[in-house]
DNA sequence: GAGCACTGC
C-alpha cells in the first residue's frame, strides 16, 4: 500500500492533540484521516477512541479496514456500532459509530466518560447530528478538560470558522491524494439539461480517450429519461466508429442488486456512462470515472417553520458541492469536469457552502433531545451552534413540543417528554406511543410508528414502464376507509402472518428494504417500550391470515394526540378542511 | 394524471 499523506504528520498531530483539547484537521479525500487518526492516537496510548461517521456503511467499512490493518478480529479491539447492530466488546479500544448512535449514548451518559478521544469525522457534511455533537463537544471539553480530546476532521470545512467556534483551536492541514481535474464551463445555461447532458456525454464518448463518465442529475425521473435517450443514441452510432458504451442509472430507490452493478468492472473496450443523483457525490464512489458532467442542480428537502411543512425543491448546488462533484473525476488519474453552466454563474450565484441540514429541518426532535440532557444553562434559544437555526425555527420547535405535552409552559421538559426522548422517533410519533400505552393499543401503535418510520415501504420500486406491466398493489388491506395509518398497520400485520416472507412483499409490490426496516424498527421500539409498557407488545393475530375485527378508535385518538400540532377539521357544507389552532387555514384534500 | 434527493437514531 502506498504511504498515505497523513502518516508524515503523525508527530505534529500527536503534539497538537496533547497540547489542546480540540483540534481541527482538514484533510482532503485520500488523506487517510478516517483510518489513520484513530490508530495514531491508539498507539499513543489513549484508552478508548470513538470515531463518528455520518453513514452506516462508512462506519462498517472503515472499522473493517482498521481491524485488518491492526491484524485484529473485528469486534474485539476495533469495532463498530450502528443502529440495530453493535459489534464491539469490552476489549474495544477503537470504536466507529454513526453520529446518531453517539448522540443516543450521550443520553445515557452525557459526559461520555467511556471515551478519552472523540473524533467527529466528515464534519464538513454538516449533518444535523454532527452539528449537534459539535455544540455538545464545546461544552464537554470544559467539563472534562483533563481527560478528553476532541478532533474535528473534515475535507473542505472552513477551518478558520470552526477554529473560531472552538475558541481559536489549532487547525492542521493534511494534503489529499486527488489528481488534477480540468474544469470546463458551458458558454451559457442550457434550456434543457437533459439534452445538454446527452450531447456532452456523446461528445466525450466519441472524441475523448477511454475513461468512464459520471453524470449528476437531480432525480429518478430525469435519470430514467436520460438513460433511455442515451441508449438510443449509442445504438445509432456506427459500428466500430468508437468503443462500446454501457449505461447505468444510479439512485437511492434502485434495488440494491442494480445499485452494485456499477462496482463490477466493465467489459473490455467498453466505456461506462453512469447517470446518478448526488448519491454518487459522497455515499457511493465509482472507480474508473475520468469525466464528470455536472448539471449544477440538486433536489433538496427543506422545512418551512411557518407552514410546518417540508418541500422538496430543485435548487442550485453550492461551490463546495460543485467541487466535490468535480473531484469524482480525479480519483484514479487526471480527469475533466464539464459544468453545464457558465463560470460566472458559479462565481456569482452559487452559495459558497451548502446550507447545513440544521437550517433546513424541523427541530422538534433535536430540541426535545437537548432538553432531556438537562444541560445546566438550558436556554435552547441560545444553544451554541456552529450555524444557528433561525429563531423562528427554534420557536416553532418549542411550540410543537408544547402542543404535544413534551414541555410545559415554562419550557421545561415534562415527564412524558422525557420518556418520548428515549424513543428514536419524531416527537409526534413518540407522543402517539405514550398515549396508546394508556389506552390499550400500544402494540398497534408500535406497528404504525415503525411503518411510518420507513416511509418507503409502500412505494413501488420499479420504474414507470415496468409498473404498467405489473399491477402495483393487489389485494392488500386498504384500511377500509379509516385512513393510511390503519392501512399501514394492516399491511404489516398481514406480512407478520406470512412469517415475514420476502416473496410476499415482492408479490404485493412492497419494497423489501422498507418492510424489513419497519420490522427492525418495531423490534427496537418494543425493546425500549418494554420498561413502561402496560400490555404485551407482540402483534395480535387470529392465526388465520385475516385481520382481527376490532375497533381502531383508541389508536386513531392516540394519533390525534400525537399530531395535535397538525390537526384540521372538516368544513361543514364545503369540501376541504380548516387547520386547528390560531389562524386556521383552509386546506384541500 | 404520477409521487420520492440523501442520510440517521
Give pLDDT tens digits for A6-34: 888 999 999 999 999 999 999 877 788 88
The closest nt to A461, taking CA to C1', is B4
The closest nt to A298, taking CA to C1', is B5
- CA A544 to C1' B6, whole Å: 40
CATH architecture of A181-355: 3-Layer(aba) Sandwich (3.40)
- Cβ atoms of A74 and A87 closer than 8 Å: yes
The closest nt to A456, taking CA to C1', is B4
Give pLDDT tens digits for A359-418: 999 999 999 999 999 887 667 878 899 999 999 999 999 999 999 999 999 999 999 999
Asked if the domains at A5-174 and A181-355 fall in one CATH topology, the answer is yes
Distance, CA of A140 to CA of A149 (rounded, Å): 10
CA distances from A355 to A24, A146, A225, A295, A394 (A): 21, 35, 29, 19, 17
Residue A535 has a pLDDT of 84
What are the boundaries of each domain within chain A? 5-174, 181-355, 423-579
CA distances from A564 to A406, A428, A558, A567 (A): 12, 8, 10, 6
Residue A150 has a pLDDT of 96
- Cβ atoms of A329 and A214 closer than 8 Å: yes
Mean pLDDT of A59-65: 93
Give pLDDT tens digits for A572-581: 777 777 777 6
Does A570 score more than 90 pLDDT?
no
Average pLDDT of every residue of chain A: 88
- CA A318 to C1' B8, whole Å: 23
The residues of the protein lying within 7 Å (CB) of strand B read: A 54-57, 82-83, 98, 100-101, 103-104, 127, 129, 218-221, 251-253, 277-279, 283-284, 298-301, 312, 365, 424-426, 453, 455-456, 459-460, 464, 467-468, 472
Determine the 3-state secondary structure of A377 from DSSP. coil
Fold of A5-174: Rossmann fold (3.40.50)
Residue A199 has a pLDDT of 94
- CA A257 to C1' B6, whole Å: 19
Give pLDDT tens digits for A501-559: 988 888 888 888 889 999 999 999 999 999 998 888 888 876 665 556 678 899 999 99
Give pLDDT tens digits for A225-263: 999 999 999 888 877 677 888 999 999 888 888 888 888
DSSP string, A471-539: -SS-S---GGGS-HHHHHHHHHHHHHHTTS-HHHHHHTT--HHHHHHHHHHHHHHHHHHTTT-SS--SP
Does A473 score more than 60 pLDDT?
no
Amino acid at each position: 500500500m502506498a504511504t498515505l499523506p497523513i502518516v508524515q504528520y503523525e508527530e505534529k498531530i500527536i503534539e497538537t492533540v496533547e497540547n489542546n483539547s480540540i483540534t481541527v484537521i482538514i484533510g482532503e479525500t485520500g488523506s487517510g484521516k478516517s483510518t489513520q487518526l484513530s490508530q495514531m492516537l491508539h498507539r499513543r496510548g489513549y484508552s478508548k477512541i470513538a470515531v463518528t461517521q455520518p453513514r452506516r456503511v462508512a462506519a462498517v467499512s472503515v472499522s473493517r479496514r482498521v481491524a485488518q490493518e491492526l491484524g485484529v478480529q473485528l469486534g474485539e479491539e476495533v469495532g463498530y456500532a450502528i443502529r440495530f447492530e453493535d459489534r464491539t466488546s469490552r476489549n474495544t479500544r477503537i470504536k466507529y459509530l454513526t453520529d446518531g448512535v453517539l448522540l443516543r449514548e450521550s443520553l445515557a451518559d452525557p459526559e461520555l466518560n467511556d471515551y478519552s478521544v472523540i473524533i467527529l469525522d466528515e464534519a464538513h457534511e454538516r449533518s444535523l447530528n454532527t452539528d449537534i455533537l459539535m455544540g455538545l463537544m464545546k461544552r464537554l471539553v470544559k467539563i472534562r478538560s483533563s481527560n478528553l480530546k476532541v478532533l474535528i476532521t473534515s475535507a473542505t470545512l472552513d477551518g478558520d470558522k470552526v477554529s473560531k467556534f472552538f475558541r481559536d483551536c489549532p487547525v492542521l492541514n493534511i494534503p489529499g491524494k486527488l489528481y488534477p481535474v480540468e474544469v470546463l464551463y458551458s458558454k451559457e445555461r442550457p434550456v434543457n439539461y437533459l439534452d445538454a447532458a446527452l450531447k456532452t456525454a456523446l461528445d466525450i464518448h466519441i472524441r475523448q480517450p477511454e475513461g468512464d463518465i459520471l453524470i449528476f442529475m437531480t432525480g429518478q425521473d430525469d435519470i430514467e429519461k436520460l438513460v433511455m435517450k442515451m441508449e438510443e443514441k449509442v445504438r445509432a452510432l456506427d459500428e466500430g466508429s468508437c468503443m462500446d458504451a454501457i449505461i447505468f442509472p444510479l439512485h437511492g430507490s434502485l434495488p440494491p442488486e442494480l445499485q452494485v452493478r456499477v462496482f463490477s468492472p466493465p467489459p473490455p473496450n467498453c466505456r461506462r456512462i453512469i447517470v446518478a443523483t448526488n448519491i454518487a457525490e459522497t455515499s457511493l464512489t465509482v472507480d474508473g470515472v475520468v469525466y464528470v458532467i455536472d448539471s449544477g442542480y440538486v433536489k433538496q428537502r427543506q422545512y418551512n417553520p411557518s407552514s410546518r411543512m417540508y418541500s422538496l425543491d430543485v435548487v442550485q448546488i453550492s461551490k463546495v458541492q460543485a467541487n466535490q462533484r468535480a473531484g469524482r473525476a480525479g480519483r484514479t488519474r487526471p480527469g475533466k469536469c464539464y459544468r453545464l453552466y457558465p463560470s460566472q454563474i458559479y462565481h456569482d450565484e452559487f452559495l459558497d457552502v451548502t446550507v447545513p441540514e440544521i437550517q433546513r429541518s424541523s427541530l422538534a426532535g433535536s430540541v426535545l433531545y437537548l432538553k432531556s440532557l438537562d444541560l445546566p444553562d438550558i436556554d435552547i434559544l441560545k444553544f451554541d451552534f456552529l450555524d444557528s437555526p433561525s429563531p423562528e425555527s427554534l420557536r416553532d420547535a418549542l411550540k410543537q413540543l408544547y402542543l404535544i405535552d413534551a414541555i410545559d409552559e415554562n419550557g421545561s421538559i415534562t415527564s412524558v417528554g422525557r420518556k418520548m426522548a428515549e424513543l428514536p422517533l419524531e416527537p409526534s410519533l413518540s407522543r402517539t406511543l405514550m398515549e396508546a400505552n394508556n389506552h390499550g393499543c400500544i402494540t398497534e401503535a408500535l406497528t404504525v410508528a415503525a411503518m411510518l418510520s420507513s416511509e418507503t415501504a409502500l412505494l413501488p420500486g420499479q420504474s414507470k414502464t415496468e409498473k404498467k406491466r405489473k399491477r402495483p398493489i393487489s389485494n392488500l388491506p386498504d384500511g377500509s376507509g379509516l385512513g393510511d395509518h390503519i392501512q399501514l398497520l394492516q399491511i404489516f400485520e398481514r406480512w407478520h402472518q406470512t412469517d415475514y416472507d420476502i416473496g410476499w412483499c415482492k408479490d404485493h409490490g412492497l419494497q423489501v428494504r422498507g418492510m424489513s426496516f419497519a420490522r427492525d424498527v418495531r423490534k427496537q421500539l418494543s425493546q425500549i417500550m418494554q420498561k413502561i409498557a402496560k400490555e404485551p407488545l407482540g402483534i395480535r393475530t387470529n392465526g388465520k391470515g385475516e385481520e382481527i375485527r376490532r375497533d381502531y378508535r383508541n389508536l386513531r385518538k392516540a394519533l390525534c394526540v400525537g399530531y395535535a400540532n397538525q390537526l384540521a377539521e372538516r368544513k361543514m357544507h364545503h369540501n376541504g378542511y380548516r387547520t386547528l389552532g390560531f389562524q386556521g387555514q383552509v386546506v384541500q384534500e
